[in-house]
Structure 1
Amino acid sequence: MPRITKEDKARNRQNIVEAAGRMFRSQGIDAVGIAELMKEVGLTHGGFYNHFASKDALAVEVCGASFAASLGGLAHAIEDGAGEAGTPLERVVAGYLSPAHRDAGDGGCPSASLVVDAGRHSEAVQRAYADGVEGYLTGFTAEFQREAEESGQELAPEKARQRAIRLLSELVGAVVISRAVRNVEPELSDEILQAGRSHGLD
């Protein structure tokens, strides 16, 4: 039997994290079994423990990796600056509260898709989630202050952070509720997203 190289092991670990990220965000952490996950990546059930001490350890890594990818998208939107589609934050709100994000097969941004799971799992998972939330708040706060400065207004850091907290809370809440009703009340689901897009930065 051929030996597994370090590169193969690293690739297998990455495949597990990526598959778990999709499955945890779309189905919930508790709904995904290790056997099901390892089958998804073409590996044996027992092989899981060559990479992670527990499912909880995997959940911590998935949460961190998922937020890192999502925050990378936020940073990219901010770096692009204003454009035809509006300010960076307007584009973020429009994308977050879009039907495509609501209907994302992989659950989309972890701030909404893992919000309930984080509260039900270990402190380590909650810490990874909290770090991701803090990343969003830091980015939003900085952008609110930049926009204020650009328009010649003064915005105290604590006020900018309060606006950031409100914005993230409204984004996550709107997506979670719109997902909860989309199958039985699709028009209500769309209405929730539309209201959020219209008033998200008010």
Structure 2
Amino acid sequence: MGRVSQAQAQENRRRVVDTASRLFREQGTRVSVADLMKAAGLTHGAFYKQFASKEALVDEVTAHAIDEWVRCHAARFEQYGGRRDAAQRDLIDAYLAPEHRDNAAEGCPVAALVTDIAREPEGGEARRTYARGVADFAAYLAPGGEGGEGGEGGEGGEGGLVRLCTLVGALILSRATEGSPLSDEILAAARAALAETA
């Protein structure tokens, strides 16, 4: 069997990271390496040619998912011509929609990875990356420019943090109660509470 070209190796790595990003958000980081590689269409042995360990993959996937989420905010901000309040309202509506609740694999990594990241080692790369993503998200949500535009180490101010906690908490609770009327009620209650802060 011939050696894999450098370009093919990079494509394989990208495929593993993309697949893991979806699976980790949907099922958590407990997904086995064998199942991950099968979903990516690659052999189990190929994993260790790309990553030193599963922990290294968790670090990279966390950074990938958070960066993707930050780019999504930036695109939404541009879509509304820099009108922060309109971009925020659109994000809140999309975030608290049943479609987002039902599609964890493509949704917010802050909510989807919260319990897994809490189990990662203190001071580890995944935790640092996640904390940066939380700060950026809170800054984006800050009312009236309270926390600036985000960025590394950005602070969301109290208003941004309250909005963030409301969004993430509501999404997690609505997923945990999915299948009961309470799930939709949680989303509606959070939407109404955030409308009052707009």
What SS class does the counterpart of residue 144 from structure 1 fall into?
A: helix
Which of these residues, 139, 151, 163, is aligned with residue 167 of structure 1?
Answer: 163
**Equivalences for residues 18-97 of structure 1 within 5 A:** 18-30=18-30, 32-81=31-80, 87-97=86-96
Q: Which amino acid aligns with 2:100?
A: H
Is 129-138 or 59-68 further displaced after alignment?
Answer: 129-138
Q: Tell me the equivalent position of 2:192.
A: 198
Structure 2: distance between partners of 1:4 and 1:189? 48
What SS class does the counterpart of residue 14 from structure 1 fall into?
A: helix
**1:121-177: CA deviation from partner (whole Å, max 9, x where unpaired):** 122221121111122123233x6318xxxxxxxxxx98x611111111110000000
The count of residues paired between Structure 1 and Structure 2 equals 185
Structure 2: distance between partners of 1:199 and 1:101? 18
> What is the Cα deviation at residue 80 of structure 1?
2.0
Q: Tell me the equivalent position of 2:130.
A: 129
**1:81-127: CA deviation from partner (whole Å, max 9, x where unpaired):** 27xxx711110100011100000051511010001110011222211
Structure 2: distance between partners of 1:49 and 1:98? 39
Structure 1: distance between partners of 2:42 and 2:87? 41
**1:162-197: CA deviation from partner (whole Å, max 9, x where unpaired):** 1111111110000000000012x1x11111111111
Q: Tell me the equivalent position of 1:151.
A: none
TM-score by length of 2: 0.86
Structure 1 runs (4+) deviating above 3 angstroms are: none
Q: Which runs of 5+ in 1 are unaligned?
A: 147-156
Percent identity of equivalent pairs: 38
> Whose RCO is larger (CA < 8 A, sep 6+)?
1
Structure 2: distance between partners of 1:139 and 1:45? 39
Alignment check: 8 A CA contact 1:75 1:139 kept? no
Alignment check: 8 A CA contact 2:104 2:112 kept? no
Alignment check: 8 A CA contact 2:96 2:187 kept? yes
Structure 2: distance between partners of 1:140 and 1:178? 20
Q: Tell me the equivalent position of 1:179.
A: 175
Alignment check: 8 A CA contact 2:62 2:129 kept? yes
TM-score by length of 1: 0.85
Q: Which amino acid aligns with 1:99?
A: P
Q: Which amino acid aligns with 1:24?
A: F
Structure number with bigger Rg: 1
Structure 2: distance between partners of 1:107 and 1:28? 13
CA RMSD across the alignment: 2.1
Structure 2: distance between partners of 1:76 and 1:103? 23
Alignment check: 8 A CA contact 1:59 1:125 kept? yes
